[in-house]
C-alpha cells in the first residue's frame, strides 16, 4: 500500500478553498438582510476547520510527489469529499434539505450537471443562488484542469491523444498541473467577467448576471429561476448565452495557445471543426421544423440554437420545454446529449473526438474488408492512432454503454417509467442536467423522484464527470499493488 498523506494534504487544501468561498454568499446575504448568512457562517467554520485538520494530519506528505495511483485516488476522492462539504449550506438553516437532496444538489453543482431538486428559486435568498453558481464555477474549472493536466497522463478514455498538447506531465503531475491551472484560471476568470458584464448590459440583475455568467462558462446550467432562461425575455440574452456555452465547449488549451499569439491551432483542430459542423446540422434540422410550426424564422432559429447548444454542451439551460416539440425533436435531443463538446473543455458526455476515433476505426475496417491484403490504419488529424489510444477509446464506449444500461435497469427496478429512467440516467451520466418527460424534463426537476433513485443518479453524475475509467480502475486489485 502506498502513502495516502500527499492525497490527504491536497484534498485538505481543496476543502479549505471551498470553505473560504462560502464567504461570498455569507456577505451577499448579510448585506441583503437575509438570516441565511448565519448558515454560511456555520458551514464555512465546519469546512475550514475540517480542511485544516486534514492538512495537519497529512502535513508529512506536503513535500512528497504523487504517483499515478495516488493521482487516481486524489481525482476520485476530491469529487466525493467536496460535495459533502458543499452540501452543508443546503442542510443547515432555512433550506433544511435532507442529506440525500443536499448531496444530490451539491454533486450536481460540482460536476456541472445542472440537475436540481430545488424549486421556487425566485424566492430563495441570493446567497443560496450564488452558492449554487459557485459550486458549478469551481467544478467547471476543476474539470478543465483534470481533463488537460491529469487525464492524459492517466491514459483515460483516449485522452492521452492530447498529452503533448496538455504539456507533458509525466513524473511531475502535481507541479505541472498547478502551472496549467494558473493559466487556465486567468482565461476562465476572464471569460466569466466578460459574460457577467454582457448579461448585465442586456438587463439582468447583478446577482443574475453573476450566477448565470458562472454557470454559462462552467456549462453547468443551474439557473436562478424555475423557468431557466425563459425568465429572460430579451432575445439578446439567449444569443449571448449560446455564444458563451459554445466558447466553453472548446478545448481550453487552445485558448492558452491563442493567448500566446497562436490562433491557428484552434482553427485547425479537427474536433473543433466537427463540433461546429454538428451544431450547425442539428440547428438547421430542428429550426426548419420550428419555423414551419411557428411561422417566425427568428424565433425558430433562436430557440433551436439556444436549446441545441445547451443540450450538446451539457449545460442544461432551457428557453422552453423542447420535449413538447414532438417525438422526433425529443429523440434527437437525446442523441445530441450523448455527443458532448470537445475534450479539454468544461463540457460533458462522450466528447466529439471519441466519435471521430470510432469513425476512423470503422473506416479502417471497411477498407480491410474491401482489400484483405491491405494494412489500413485508423487516423486522427492525419496521424495514425496508436493501439493504446484505440483500445482506450473502445473501452470507454463499452463501459459507457454498459454503465448506462445498468443505471436504467436500477432506475426501472425502483419504479421509474422507461422514459424517465432512460433520459435521467443519460442526463446524469452525461452530466447534461434535465432529462425528458413531464417529471425531469426541462420544465420539471428531480425533486419528485424516490430517494433511492436520487442516489443512483448521484452516482451517475460522479461516474460521468470522472470519465468512468478513473473510478472503475480503483476496483482492480492490481491497482493497489506497488
Q: Is the pLDDT of residue 168 over 50?
A: no
171 band by pLDDT with thresholds 50, 70 and 90: very low
CB 191 within 8 A of CB 248: yes
Residues 418-432 have pLDDT tens digits of 999 999 999 999 999
Helix residue ranges per DSSP H, 58-172: 68-86, 88-91, 99-110, 126-145, 151-154
Minimum mean pLDDT among 155-169, 205-219, 333-347: which range? 155-169
The rounded distance, in Å, linking the Cα atoms of 55 and 59 is 6
Q: Rounded mean pLDDT of 448-462? A: 96
- Neighbouring residues of 56: CB distance < 8 A, sequence distance ≥ 6: none
pTM above 0.85, yes or no: yes
Q: Is the pLDDT of residue 180 over 50?
A: yes
Which of residues 396 and 158 earns the better pLDDT score?
396
- Neighbouring residues of 122: CB distance < 8 A, sequence distance ≥ 6: 224, 225, 226
Helix axes 173-201, 68-86, angle to 10 degrees: 40
The rounded distance, in Å, linking the Cα atoms of 26 and 37 is 4
Q: What percent of the chain shows pLDDT beyond 70?
A: 94
- Residue 2 is predicted with a pLDDT of 66
Q: Which residue has the cell 433562436?
A: 302
Q: Which of 419, 310, 343, 376 is nearest to 156 (CA)?
A: 343
Minimum mean pLDDT among 123-137, 306-320, 358-372, 395-409: which range? 358-372
- Residue 66 is predicted with a pLDDT of 74
Helix residue ranges per DSSP H, 170-269: 173-201, 206-217, 235-248, 252-259, 264-268
CB 132 within 8 A of CB 109: yes
- Residue 420 is predicted with a pLDDT of 94
CB atoms within 10 A of CB 192: 22
CB 25 within 8 A of CB 40: yes
Q: Is the pLDDT of residue 295 over 90?
A: no
CB 287 within 8 A of CB 298: no
- Residue 482 is predicted with a pLDDT of 62
408 band by pLDDT with thresholds 50, 70 and 90: very high
- Residue 95 is predicted with a pLDDT of 75
Mean of the per-residue pLDDT values for the chain?
89
Q: Is the pLDDT of residue 140 over 80?
A: yes
Q: Is the pLDDT of residue 183 over 90?
A: no
Residues 225-269 have pLDDT tens digits of 999 999 999 999 999 999 999 999 999 988 988 888 888 888 888
Q: Is the pLDDT of residue 93 over 90?
A: no
The rounded distance, in Å, linking the Cα atoms of 473 and 93 is 39
Q: Which residue has the cell 427496478?
A: 413
Q: What percent of the chain shows pLDDT beyond 90?
A: 62
Q: Which residues pair with 384 in a beta bridge?
A: 379
Q: Rounded mean pLDDT of 68-97? A: 89
- Neighbouring residues of 366: CB distance < 8 A, sequence distance ≥ 6: none
Residues 354-407 have pLDDT tens digits of 999 999 999 988 888 888 877 778 888 888 888 888 888 999 999 999 999 999
Residues 144-155 have pLDDT tens digits of 887 777 777 667
Q: Rounded mean pLDDT of 90-98? A: 84
All three cell numbers of 211: 450566477
Q: Rounded mean pLDDT of 82-109? A: 92
Amino acid at each position: 500500500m502506498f502513502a495516502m498523506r500527499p492525497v490527504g494534504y491536497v484534498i485538505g487544501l481543496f476543502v479549505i478553498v471551498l470553505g473560504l468561498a462560502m464567504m461570498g454568499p455569507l456577505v451577499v446575504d448579510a448585506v441583503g438582510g437575509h438570516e441565511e448568512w448565519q448558515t454560511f457562517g456555520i458551514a464555512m467554520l465546519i469546512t475550514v476547520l475540517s480542511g485544516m485538520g486534514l492538512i495537519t494530519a497529512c502535513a508529512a506528505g506536503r513535500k512528497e510527489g504523487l504517483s499515478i495511483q495516488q493521482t487516481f485516488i486524489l481525482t476520485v476522492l476530491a469529487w466525493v469529499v467536496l460535495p459533502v462539504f458543499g452540501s452543508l449550506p443546503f442542510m443547515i438553516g432555512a433550506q433544511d434539505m435532507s442529506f440525500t437532496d443536499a448531496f444530490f444538489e451539491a454533486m450536481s453543482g460540482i460536476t456541472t450537471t445542472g440537475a436540481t431538486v430545488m424549486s421556487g428559486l425566485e424566492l430563495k435568498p441570493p446567497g443560496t443562488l450564488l452558492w449554487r453558481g459557485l459550486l458549478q464555477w469551481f467544478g467547471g474549472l476543476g474539470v478543465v484542469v483534470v481533463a488537460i493536466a491529469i487525464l492524459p497522463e492517466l491514459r483515460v478514455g483516449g485522452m492521452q491523444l492530447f498529452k503533448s498538447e496538455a504539456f507533458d506531465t509525466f513524473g511531475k503531475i502535481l507541479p505541472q498541473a498547478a502551472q496549467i491551472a494558473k493559466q487556465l484560471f486567468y482565461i476562465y476568470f476572464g471569460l466569466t467577467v466578460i459574460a457577467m458584464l454582457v448579461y448585465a448590459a442586456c438587463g439582468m440583475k447583478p446577482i443574475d448576471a453573476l450566477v448565470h455568467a458562472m454557470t454559462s462558462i462552467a456549462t453547468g446550467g443551474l439557473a436562478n429561476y424555475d423557468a431557466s432562461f425563459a425568465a429572460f425575455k430579451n432575445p439578446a440574452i439567449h444569443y449571448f448565452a449560446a455564444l458563451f456555452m459554445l466558447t466553453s465547449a472548446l478545448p481550453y488549451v487552445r485558448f492558452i495557445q491563442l493567448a500566446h499569439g497562436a490562433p491557428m491551432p484552434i482553427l485547425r483542430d479537427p474536433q473543433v471543426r466537427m463540433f461546429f459542423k454538428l451544431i450547425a446540422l442539428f440547428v438547421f434540422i430542428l429550426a426548419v421544423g420550428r419555423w414551419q410550426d411557428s411561422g417566425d424564422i427568428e424565433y425558430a432559429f433562436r430557440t433551436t440554437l439556444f436549446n441545441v447548444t445547451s443540450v450538446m454542451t451539457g449545460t442544461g439551460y432551457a428557453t422552453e420545454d423542447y420535449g413538447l416539440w414532438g417525438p422526433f425533436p425529443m429523440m434527437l435531443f437525446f442523441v445530441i446529449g450523448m455527443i458532448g463538446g470537445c475534450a479539454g473543455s468544461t463540457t460533458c458526455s462522450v466528447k466529439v473526438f471519441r466519435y471521430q476515433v470510432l469513425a476512423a476505426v470503422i473506416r479502417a475496417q471497411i477498407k480491410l474488408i474491401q482489400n484483405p491484403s491491405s494494412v489500413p490504419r485508423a487516423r486522427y488529424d492525419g496521424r495514425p492512432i496508436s493501439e493504446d489510444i484505440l483500445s482506450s477509446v473502445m473501452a470507454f464506449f463499452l463501459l459507457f454503454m454498459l454503465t448506462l444500461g445498468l443505471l436504467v435497469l436500477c432506475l426501472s427496478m425502483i419504479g421509474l417509467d422507461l422514459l424517465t429512467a432512460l433520459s435521467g440516467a443519460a442526463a446524469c451520466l452525461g452530466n447534461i442536467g434535465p432529462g425528458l418527460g413531464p417529471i425531469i424534463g426541462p420544465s420539471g426537476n428531480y425533486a419528485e423522484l424516490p430517494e433511492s433513485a436520487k442516489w443512483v443518479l448521484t452516482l451517475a453524475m460522479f461516474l460521468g464527470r470522472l470519465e468512468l475509467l478513473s473510478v472503475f480502475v480503483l476496483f482492480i486489485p492490481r491497482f493497489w499493488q506497488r
